[in-house]
Structure 1
Amino acid sequence: MTIAERPTGLPVLIQGGMGVGVSGWRLARAVARTGQLGVVSGVALDVVLARRLQQGDPSGDLRRALEAFPFPAVSEGILERYFVAGGIAPGVPYRPVPRLGLRPHRGRTELIAAANFVEVFLAREGHDGPVGVNYLEKIQMATPAAAYGAMLAGVDYVLMGAGIPSEIPRLLDALAAHRPAQVSVTVAGAAADQRHTADLDPADLYGASRPAPLKRTSLLAIVSSDILATYLARKPETRPDGFILEGPSAGGHSAPPRGRMRLDDAGEPLYGPRDHVDTGKVAALGLPFWLAGGYGRPGGLARALRIGAAGVQVGTAFALCRESGLDDKLRRGLLDAAADGTLVVRNDPHASPAGFPFKVAEVPGTLADPDVYAARPRLCDLGHLRTPYLRDGGSVGYRCPAEPVDTYTRKGRPADDTTGRRCLCNGLVGAIGLGQHRPDGYEEPPLLTLGRDLAFLDDLPDDYTAADVVGRLLHGTEHA
């Protein structure tokens, strides 16, 4: 298949949704302007919006986007609570946002919905290219409000991985019609017949006057198995609009190896033939698919097109470009380390509280540094990766293996679960320059994640742009 022979209306390139704010609206907009799919990360946008407003929103972009949010009372409440003209003083802690939970919380719902609207609105501004938003299925309690906010802004695609997004097609159907919607939430220890849900009634946001129906966004399920793709495609109510087939070399979270977890001599998961997706079986499902994980190198797109893919998803090349949301000093440090051959990216089986292997860039002064990790006080004050569990007596509690060890063990789990766990929530927020700082001078250290394939850097200029990445990937594929 050549690019010219592909189905029309589909992107050839998907820019990956990365980290917390790494694939922010500036990056997604830059990619979408080239006609390819620009993607914002939808993870922890409530924290990102609240902290950027507390920094004073110097460009005014956030306030301009909030003015466009269709429910003005919500925007006004958020600005009153979080906006600080001129920004908070150095050393003043950021005001906290409500943590995710199963109990209804109006302020939390409003902030999540508005934050997703803002990010997608700004990414879509000034062009007619496609924009998507990436979510983790693991963060179930935020999904209904987050997806609704993104759809209010006209998002074209929802991308979802880190789990089985079988309920998302029905969620998107309901939200497009402004109907009450919900997704199931996994609660550890709950019986099979005990269902817990995260719910959203859009009327709680729009009030008495129902808006016009929204565009029903397309769903791309991020999977690492043809078995899972077949499972999702078997019924209309679970069938996505396409698949992103992600290999183990991709950045961020990756699926664990099938079967018993085995580690190599470096302590990283071993993947074998069972962990490779049978693209022929996926193609037979009749849905478009894109390949991810190592396809940013020369010839990757042409190779994907030859086996019938609609294109590729690329993350790391965009994570290091000029429009990336990474703190610029950290970004340039990663580029320098990659250039001199000293950058190491490790697939750590223990780093993430989510329980999935997670790619960690081993950079001194970050949470990957053993000394920094040992010195950081253990706490879980953002809590996006907390696991709900059933307490004795039937109420729901929350725990995270990155929280203090004694706190975690009091919740019925072994101390071994906490070994090596990094606080991804705080670390990833710190990577975009929004780490918490406290009156005693303590500042949250960042955590950096990248894919392992950095060969693309050989063909890009210094301090390259997102358009440079798109141009390099598309070059020479017209007849591939």
Structure 2
Amino acid sequence: MPDPRLFPGLPALIQGGMGVGVSGWRLARAVAATGQLGVVSGTALDVTLARRLQRGDPGGHLRRALACFPVPEVAERVLSRYFVPGGTGDGVPYRPVPRLGLRGNRARDELAVVANFAEVFLAKEGHDGPVGVNYLEKIQLATPAAVYGALLAGVDYVLVGAGIPAEIPRLLDDLAEHRPARISVAVAGEGGGHTVGLDPVALLGRRLTPLVRPRLLAIVSSHVLAAYLARSPATRPDGFVIETPVAGGHSAPPRGRMTLDAAGEPVYGPRDAPDLAKVAALGLPFWLAGGYGTPGGLERAWAAGAAGVQVGSAFALCRESGLDPRLRHRLRERAAAGTLQVRNDPLASPTGFPFKVAEVPGTLSDPDVYDSRPRLCDLGYLRTPYERADGSLGYRCPAEPVDVYVRKGRPAEEAEGRRCLCNGLLAAIGLGQHRADGYAEPALLTLGQDAGFLDGLPEEHSAADVVAHILLQAHV
């Protein structure tokens, strides 16, 4: 196996940036304190910050972070909009946040920048270990403001998956220098030309000193995409995370025409297995994810030439995880008993990508719960911009009411079986919306399909337990 010292300064273990708030600052800080790479999920941090402030910011952690924001008046505007001393009462609906869109919105950008700053700031507090942030390339409309907030807090790594992050290297270069930065936005039914961006000086009202540009890791599932990104300095990341189809959350669809097995899950074949020798030949460090969260998995990764592994599910079920503790215990008990079913659902996600759904009664995996939920799309992180017949732009999501989706030019069958990931994942971390009519959003749970990571871990394990189990057993 390769000697891990061949990768000086690089972590052997990356903690996955999972879900909405599952990989929160507490988890990332606990992992980073061990010297490995702790990662916060950058998805929907604007709404999670706003809702936690409305709950009164227990412990005062968010207010402590915002007090260190480099432009105090920006953080103060966010606090004045959302902070509720003592918290709102039980069942009170959360105040909405501005939805993503191509049209500029100062309040939306301020909230995103401040929220990402706060999450990374808290993750980096009290230690000198490395901290990263994970973004979905699919959510292009959020990326510039979110990334800038993380850079202001000194994030060490940016990880981007669920798409082709070819424009992220330039985005990091520009934002580290506080230059105006833009990325392309895919618009359905249109030939291109739409972008979304951020002008840091215009937003903050001043030019700050240059920032340290973080390393970029592209999360991909094929050696072909890795080679495409590595071909040019303009698109080349600093490394890769290579995910297999068993990893939690979204998966790349099988190559070619999708076929389903008897259980209705996508069938992956030899064409979907990345050629790790070709990845290694690119000369960039890489980590393996999806079924590698064990000491043996790390040994296999080293043998393939990888710098290490990315681990998700073991951390999702640890004490520092952002999952609602009651749901975490239910997942842990079922996984330990061997009764937990995690389905790679080809329909659940509005993105059209397969999505791992943990089947737990009372959550959105339960057909009765799904059928009783009123369809709506009020958060909109996974909406797709599209061009209307008159040339104007609209937004649609297959998880919204079917008749609305059809009026926006798409067939009803595309909406069949779609889950509202935005609301469901927020409910999974205890921040689900309560509607004015009393309806409470149910949780949606995701986990990797390989439960072998629990072997050898204590029943109520910590993040440090996971790190020690994998690294010490692998003789790092």
Q: How would you bin the TM-score normalised by the shorter chain?
A: over 0.9
TM-superposed deviation, 1:375: 0.1
Question: Where does structure 1 differ by over 4 angstroms across 4 or more consecutive aligned residues?
Answer: none
TM-superposed deviation, 1:395: 1.0
Structure 2: distance between partners of 1:6 and 1:335: 36
Q: Does 1:458 align with 2:455?
A: yes
Deviations 1:373-396 (A, max 9, x none): 000000000000000000111111
Aligned-residue RMSD, C-alpha: 0.9
Deviations 1:138-193 (A, max 9, x none): 000000000000000000000000000000000000000000001100000002xx
Q: Does 1:327 align with 2:324?
A: yes
TM-superposed deviation, 1:3: 4.7
Find the counterpart in structure 2 of residue 386 from structure 1.
Answer: 383
Given candidates 171, 180, 202, the residue that maps to 1:204 is 202
- Spell out the pairing of 1:160-199 with structure 2 (5 A cutoff): 160-191=160-191, 194-199=192-197
Structure 2: distance between partners of 1:354 and 1:71: 36
Aligned AA for 2:130?
A: P
Question: Is the CA contact (8 Å cut-off) linking 1:65 and 1:121 kept in structure 2?
Answer: yes
> For structure 1, which segment, 452-461 or 262-271, has the greater mean C-alpha deviation from structure 2 after superposition?
452-461
SS in 1 for 2:59: coil
Structure 2: distance between partners of 1:36 and 1:296: 14
Aligned AA for 1:90?
A: D
- Spell out the pairing of 1:45-64 with structure 2 (5 A cutoff): 45-64=45-64
**TM-score, length basis structure 1:** 0.98
Q: Does 1:274 align with 2:271?
A: yes
Given candidates 209, 214, 236, the residue that maps to 1:217 is 214
Structure 2: distance between partners of 1:6 and 1:381: 48
Q: Does 1:42 align with 2:39?
A: no
SS in 2 for 1:290: strand
Which segments of 5 or more consecutive residues in structure 2 lack a partner in the other structure? none
Aligned AA for 1:196?
A: H
SS in 2 for 1:182: strand
Question: Is the CA contact (8 Å cut-off) linking 1:246 and 1:291 kept in structure 2?
Answer: yes
SS in 1 for 2:107: helix
Structure 2: distance between partners of 1:37 and 1:456: 18
TM-superposed deviation, 1:204: 2.1
Structure 1: distance between partners of 2:204 and 2:377: 33
Question: Is the CA contact (8 Å cut-off) linking 1:226 and 1:278 kept in structure 2?
Answer: yes
Structure 2: distance between partners of 1:329 and 1:476: 30
Find the counterpart in structure 2 of residue 336 from structure 1.
Answer: 333
Deviations 1:305-345 (A, max 9, x none): 11110000000000000000000000001111112222100
TM-superposed deviation, 1:219: 0.5
TM-superposed deviation, 1:476: 3.2
Given candidates 230, 234, 238, the residue that maps to 1:233 is 230
Question: Is the CA contact (8 Å cut-off) linking 1:241 and 1:287 kept in structure 2?
Answer: yes
- Spell out the pairing of 1:9-408 with structure 2 (5 A cutoff): 9-191=9-191, 194-207=192-205, 209-408=206-405
Aligned AA for 2:29?
A: R
SS in 2 for 1:60: helix
Aligned AA for 2:98?
A: P
TM-superposed deviation, 1:447: 0.2
Aligned AA for 2:241?
A: I
Aligned AA for 2:122?
A: L
TM-superposed deviation, 1:457: 1.1
Structure 1: distance between partners of 2:167 and 2:331: 38
Deviations 1:236-295 (A, max 9, x none): 000000000000000000100000011001000000000000011011111000000000
Aligned AA for 1:438?
A: R
Structure 2 CA distance for partners of 1:184 and 1:86, relative to 1, 3 Å: same
Structure 2: distance between partners of 1:254 and 1:88: 37
SS in 2 for 1:402: coil
Structure 2: distance between partners of 1:90 and 1:439: 12
Q: How many residues align?
A: 476
SS in 2 for 1:40: strand
Question: Is the CA contact (8 Å cut-off) linking 2:295 and 2:473 kept in structure 1?
Answer: no
Deviations 1:70-92 (A, max 9, x none): 11111111111100001001121
**TM-score, length basis structure 2:** 0.99
Structure 2: distance between partners of 1:314 and 1:276: 19
TM-superposed deviation, 1:474: 0.5
Find the counterpart in structure 2 of residue 411 from structure 1.
Answer: 408
